[in-house]
Amino acid sequence: METGSESLVVKVADLIGDGGADEGRRLNDLIRPALATEGEVELDFTGVSAVTEPFLEAAVAGLLDEIPFEDLLRRLIVSNMTVRDVQGLRYVLERARGDAEGCSLGGCG
């Protein structure tokens, strides 16, 4: 983990074991303060072969309760993530955004 003046770089491989929800919550606890102060967070997935949906949900979906969707997209940077995992992250965030806006799954549109 590296910190800059207003940014945080997290090497995700150093934090996760099985990539489950517990590790996701731990990552969320780590990045939430930096994002709450308008900083940027880079999640570096070097060395991570795959992540689970429960990990992504626990790590980032709840951030939308405090940070507007567009702001989160601008300030949460992912690097070295597989295409499949980027798609999973996008799915989790889009679903969480719908839930945050009061939509049920499949009921938005």
Q: Where are the domains of the chain?
A: 2-100
Residues 80-99 have pLDDT tens digits of 999 999 999 999 999 999 87
Model confidence pTM above 0.85: no
First to last CA, the chain: 39
Neighbouring CB atoms inside 10 A of 60's CB total: 25
Residues 9-48 have pLDDT tens digits of 999 999 887 778 899 999 999 999 999 898 999 999 999 9
